[in-house]
Amino acid sequence: MKIEIIAVGNEVLYGHTVNTNASYLARSMQKLGISPMYMTVIGDDSDVIKEAVQLAMKRTDVIVLTGGLGPTPDDLTKEVVCEILGLSMEIIPEELEKLKQYFEKRERAMTSNNQKQAAFPKEAYILANDCGTAPGCILEQQGKTIILLPGPPKEMKHMFDNYVIPFFKEKVSHYYESIDIKCFGLGESELATRIAPLLGDGEGVNVATYVGKGEVIVRIAAYATEQAVLTDKIDAMKEKIEQCLGPWIIGYNNEELEEKVVSLLLKQHLTVATVESCTGGLIAATLVNCGGVSICFKEGIVTYSNEAKMKYVGVKKETLDSVGAVSEETAKQMAEGIRKATGADIGLSSTGIAGPGGGTPTKPVGLVYIGIAMPQGTEVFKLQLHGTRQENRERTVKEILFRLYKKLQ
Amino acid sequence: MKIEIIAVGNEVLYGHTVNTNASYLARSMQKLGISPMYMTVIGDDSDVIKEAVQLAMKRTDVIVLTGGLGPTPDDLTKEVVCEILGLSMEIIPEELEKLKQYFEKRERAMTSNNQKQAAFPKEAYILANDCGTAPGCILEQQGKTIILLPGPPKEMKHMFDNYVIPFFKEKVSHYYESIDIKCFGLGESELATRIAPLLGDGEGVNVATYVGKGEVIVRIAAYATEQAVLTDKIDAMKEKIEQCLGPWIIGYNNEELEEKVVSLLLKQHLTVATVESCTGGLIAATLVNCGGVSICFKEGIVTYSNEAKMKYVGVKKETLDSVGAVSEETAKQMAEGIRKATGADIGLSSTGIAGPGGGTPTKPVGLVYIGIAMPQGTEVFKLQLHGTRQENRERTVKEILFRLYKKLQ
């Protein structure tokens, strides 16, 4: 099956929006064992769209278009594709009704230009847009499959995952499965060295490493004509990799570190409280992102000033005067202080210089102390980070959650 | 001048690497007033590369290829392009010498496969690679310009900025400029309706709308042969759009709402404190993301539990018992309570049901109250959001910052 992905939109063509849609589609297709042969980006110009779709119909079997389904006169994808295929469109009452409800629910006015989003040829298999206004569609015409998806990534992803993948699944005859093993605390090359003999292709199994957001991902991918064989292959390789990388593994596939931490806290009936300086609430916000966290997380404090550090968690003035706010001792007192002040089983603290300013020769930008106070004692970790302000703060959150995760295991 | 950007590489085609090179090139070209007409991604397959380059030579004048200049047998771009043009390559002694020095300097062994990176046709204008091993080149053949750049973004960018832009500058004779106007609080279609007469092309100025992260962006782009004319065109259109959308404008280009808020707080010598329930620290974390925030933001509290709401900010037990934590009255008491407890000029609060669970018929998922307590009084806003847990929390942060921004203006 030859596939072309075409993104339509000036914002992509002019470089203001990076074409993450195409990458997402390609990665999602890989889970089905299929890959695109071409990715194309073109602007909101009906002649160019027409020519590109006609070319794609000549050189591929399946064409996935993203973008150009919006309400404005710029949005031309559906119109041009129908013109090429010689199909006429009409307003589909059910789709118009859904649109009306969408706007009513949000108490927003539906403008007349939204109407065209409900127009489709009767030959179209309409794909619901559960996250926005533009429905997509699948057209099977002239021996080709043309799939129209909206441009906003959130809408596109949801539509593809829920309505297009099942459609593709019927078309592919082999089984494919992949699993991502997320690791933290090892660089990519060190990690790759540890699993060097397992990397690459072998007996229908491929192992590769990728750099994720603050993590390194080991992906195992396998094909097979039988599901049982496939599962065996994946499981056997997974075990081998776990033997090599066990201490650094923080989760599988879409599992997030904070979810693992919250799940361990709940299982062990432990509560946690946070006191944050350089992370400014991001540790709390990350924990609170997990549903059901209210049982183990009751409160958190952002003590950005020295006064707040003394007032809420009893950091000693002498400590702040002598070794300063960014110090092992302050991190320790903060973590222990929040534990005491809240009665939580575990106290987490952060204090550091996130940057870009504020560094000194002895306390450079990126110096961060994180504290974990538990019934069995307090431990403080010193980090020296090298990213932007935002990256340093995100990294600090990952680091403290990783240390806590190891302690809870 | 018609331009096509072609990225060569399986890692891009399979979605593991997002094609940020193409976006970077397009944005850089815009500064010269030129734009690509197509962006294409293909894999490391000589037949497909050949066909794609031949197509590009047919439909465009300038072809910029990225990737496939490395030392491995997979790296085929230069070889295929020379084959198409009927040019033969030879090792260029100066380039070989540079390669040898590169490896010597890094105390790394130069393997024999690196040699081919020094091979070019004698017709090529070679582009130095100051950040890596693969030089690029410009070929002007058969009335077409073909530019070969390496794939690693750092190498590609440096080479393009330093050696290709000067080459392009000689070819273009006009100026280009664009400005993004970020709006919040209006949907794209409602916004587009308000500026409908201004949208599209007119007198060398283009106006278009895009959906950003929680915002709608209006982009003004203009071309002119004189810089002064260009500035006038942009300014005139900007003023017209500001007249239509003034109340919803939250910034220009890369300005973030939180930066505008913090800058207004600093200018007005106001301090702020936060008490968060459903946002779990994200309001504080967003503010703290702005450098220099320590002057206006001293502390914040995450009161996820009812107990914490009573303990830290004095929410009344009767209120929680009668109307509950997710209520206008609780949001009001929280915002006023944090103002009182911290002595800050402004108190910000959030309480709501971020989801996915926890909703009831009278208090559905997505119901959020945000409170802003200021010296002149307290205001509470009711939101009904429709996203995921994470989206609802991010939206809540944007909403409260937007309301505060309007109040501070």
Q: What ipTM, to 2 d.p.?
A: 0.74
Chain A residue numbers with beta carbons less than 8 Å from the beta carbon of B160 are none
Instruction: Say yes or no: B115 contacts chain A, CB-CB below 8 A.
Output: no
Within this chain, do residues A309 and A397 fall inside the same structural domain, yes or no? yes
Q: What single DSSP character describes residue B109?
A: P
The boundaries of the domain holding residue B215 are 175-252
Q: Kindly determine whether residue A26 and residue B13, on different chains, have CB atoms separated by under 8 Å.
A: yes
pLDDT, tens digit, 9 for 90 and up, residues B226-248:
888 889 999 999 999 999 999 99
Instruction: Say yes or no: B343 contacts chain A, CB-CB below 8 A.
Output: no
Within this chain, do residues B399 and B383 fall inside the same structural domain, yes or no? yes
pLDDT, tens digit, 9 for 90 and up, residues A91-147:
999 999 999 999 998 888 888 888 999 999 999 999 999 999 999 999 999 999 999
Q: What is the DSSP string of B239-292?
A: HHHHHHHGGGEEEETT--HHHHHHHHHHHTT--EEEEESTTTTHHHHHHHTSTT
pLDDT band at A409, cuts 50/70/90? Answer: confident
Instruction: Say yes or no: B310 contacts chain A, CB-CB below 8 A.
Output: no
pLDDT, tens digit, 9 for 90 and up, residues B140-173:
999 999 999 999 888 999 999 999 998 888 887 7
Q: What percent of chain A has pLDDT over 90?
A: 71
Domain total for chain B?
A: 3
Q: Which residues, 6+ apart, have CB-to-CB distance to B267 below 8 Å?
A: none
Q: State which of B252, B286, B319 marks the end of a domain.
A: B252
Alpha carbon distance A383, A393 (integer Å): 11
pLDDT of residue B84: 97
Give the helix/strand (H/E) hosting B91.
strand B89-91
- Which of B13, B288, B355 comes nearest A39 by C-beta? B13
Alpha carbon distance A346, B232 (integer Å): 60
Top-confidence range, B201-210, B216-225, B284-293, B329-338: B329-338
Q: What single DSSP character describes residue A195?
A: T
Residue B225 vs residue A232, higher pLDDT: A232
- 3-class secondary structure, B302: strand
Within this chain, do residues B161 and B289 fall inside the same structural domain, yes or no? no
pLDDT band at B403, cuts 50/70/90? Answer: very high
pLDDT band at A216, cuts 50/70/90? Answer: confident
Alpha carbon distance B284, A302 (integer Å): 7
Question: Is B259 contained in some domain?
Answer: no
pLDDT of residue A261: 96
- 3-class secondary structure, A371: strand
pLDDT of residue A157: 96
- Which of B199, B200, B297 comes nearest A304 by C-beta? B297
Q: What percent of chain B has pLDDT over 90?
A: 71
pLDDT, tens digit, 9 for 90 and up, residues A174-207:
778 889 999 998 877 778 889 989 988 788 888 8
What stretches of A178-281 show up as alpha helix (H) in DSSP?
A: 188-194, 227-245, 257-267
pLDDT, tens digit, 9 for 90 and up, residues A21-32:
999 999 899 878
User: In terms of CA atoms, which chain B residue is nearest residue A293?
Assistant: B304
Q: What single DSSP character describes residue A139?
A: E
pLDDT, tens digit, 9 for 90 and up, residues A145-159:
999 999 999 999 999
Instruction: Say yes or no: A280 contacts chain B, CB-CB below 8 A.
Output: yes
Instruction: Say yes or no: B382 contacts chain A, CB-CB below 8 A.
Output: no
Chain A residue numbers with beta carbons less than 8 Å from the beta carbon of B213 are none
Q: Among B13-17, B200-204, B372-376, B402-406, which is the least confidently predicted range?
A: B200-204
What CATH number corresponds to the domain at position A300?
3.90.950.20
Q: What are phi and psi of A326, to 5 degrees?
A: -95, 85
Averaged pLDDT for residues B360-367 = 93
Q: What distance lies between CA A12 and its chain's CA centroid?
A: 20
Crossing angle between the packed helical segments B77-85 and B46-59, to the nearest 10 degrees: 50
Residues A382 and A323: beta-carbon distance below 8 Å: no
Within this chain, do residues A70 and A183 fall inside the same structural domain, yes or no? no
Averaged pLDDT for residues B251-267 = 93
pTM for the model = 0.76
For residue B342, give how far its alpha carbon lies from the nearest alpha carbon of chain A (Å): 9
Q: What is the DSSP string of A6-57?
A: EEE-HHHHTTSS--HHHHHHHHHHHTTT---SEEEEE-S-HHHHHHHHHHHH
Residue B357 vs residue B407, higher pLDDT: B407
Within this chain, do residues A19 and A152 fall inside the same structural domain, yes or no? yes
pLDDT of residue B106: 76
Within this chain, do residues B285 and B358 fall inside the same structural domain, yes or no? yes
pLDDT, tens digit, 9 for 90 and up, residues A255-279:
899 999 999 999 999 999 999 999 9
Chain A residue numbers with beta carbons less than 8 Å from the beta carbon of B19 are 18-19, 22-23, 39
Q: State which of B252, B283, B303 marks the end of a domain.
A: B252
User: In terms of CA atoms, which chain B residue is nearest residue A338?
Assistant: B301
pLDDT band at A294, cuts 50/70/90? Answer: confident
Give chain B's mean pLDDT: 92
- Which of B15, B299, B390 comes nearest A303 by C-beta? B299
pLDDT of residue A311: 93
- Position A171: which residue type? K
Q: Kindly determine whether residue B304 and residue A293, on different chains, have CB atoms separated by under 8 Å.
A: yes
- Which of A22, A281, A298 comes nearest B307 by C-beta? A298
pLDDT of residue A83: 97
pLDDT band at B225, cuts 50/70/90? Answer: confident
Q: Kindly determine whether residue A113 and residue B189, on different chains, have CB atoms separated by under 8 Å.
A: yes
Residue B102 vs residue B5, higher pLDDT: B5
Segment 16-45 of chain B within 8 Å of chain A by CB: 16-20, 22-30, 35-43
pLDDT of residue B268: 96
What CATH number corresponds to the domain at position B55?
3.40.980.10
Q: b/e string for B302-338 if b means 16 or more Cβ within 10 A?
A: bbbbbbbbbbbbebeeebbeeeebbbebbbbbbbbbb
pLDDT band at B284, cuts 50/70/90? Answer: very high
pLDDT(B199) > 80: yes
Instruction: Say yes or no: A200 contacts chain B, CB-CB below 8 A.
Output: no
pLDDT of residue A224: 85
Q: What are phi and psi of A89, to 5 degrees?
A: -105, 155
Q: Kindly determine whether residue A16 and residue B42, on different chains, have CB atoms separated by under 8 Å.
A: no
Q: What is the DSSP string of B26-60?
A: HHHHHTTT---SEEEEE-S-HHHHHHHHHHHHHH-
Alpha carbon distance A404, A373 (integer Å): 10
Instruction: Say yes or no: B72 contacts chain A, CB-CB below 8 A.
Output: no
Within this chain, do residues A242 and A377 fall inside the same structural domain, yes or no? no
- Position B30: which residue type? Q
Q: State which of A131, A150, A169 marks the end of a domain.
A: A169
- CA distance readout (Å), B7 to A393, B17, B339: 34, 11, 55
Cross-strand partners of A5:
A39, A64
Chain A residue numbers with beta carbons less than 8 Å from the beta carbon of B366 are none
pLDDT of residue B33: 77
Alpha carbon distance B229, B277 (integer Å): 52
Of chain B, the end-to-end C-alpha distance in Å amounts to 45
Within this chain, do residues A358 and A283 fall inside the same structural domain, yes or no? yes
Give chain A's mean pLDDT: 92
Instruction: Say yes or no: A386 contacts chain B, CB-CB below 8 A.
Output: no
pLDDT of residue A271: 96
Within this chain, do residues A237 and A323 fall inside the same structural domain, yes or no? no
What CATH number corresponds to the domain at position B185?
3.30.70.2860
pLDDT of residue A48: 97
Within this chain, do residues B195 and B278 fall inside the same structural domain, yes or no? no
Residues B395 and B389: beta-carbon distance below 8 Å: no
Alpha carbon distance B245, B190 (integer Å): 11
Within this chain, do residues A237 and A262 fall inside the same structural domain, yes or no? no
Averaged pLDDT for residues A82-93 = 96
Q: What single DSSP character describes residue A142?
A: T
Question: Is B258 contained in some domain?
Answer: no
Averaged pLDDT for residues A33-58 = 96
Within this chain, do residues A262 and A290 fall inside the same structural domain, yes or no? yes
Chain B interface disruption, residue of A17, A32, A41, most B CBs within 10 A:
A41
For residue A299, give how far its alpha carbon lies from the nearest alpha carbon of chain B (Å): 5
Chain B interface disruption, residue of A69, A302, A312, A394, most B CBs within 10 A:
A302
pLDDT of residue A239: 96
Averaged pLDDT for residues A216-231 = 87
For residue A107, give how far its alpha carbon lies from the nearest alpha carbon of chain B (Å): 10
Strands B119-121 and A205-211: unpaired
User: In terms of CA atoms, which chain B residue is nearest residue A45?
Assistant: B37
Q: Kindly determine whether residue A114 and residue B189, on different chains, have CB atoms separated by under 8 Å.
A: yes
Instruction: Select from A337, A366, A341 the least CA-distant residue to A353.
Output: A366
Residues A37 and A71: beta-carbon distance below 8 Å: no
pLDDT of residue B72: 79
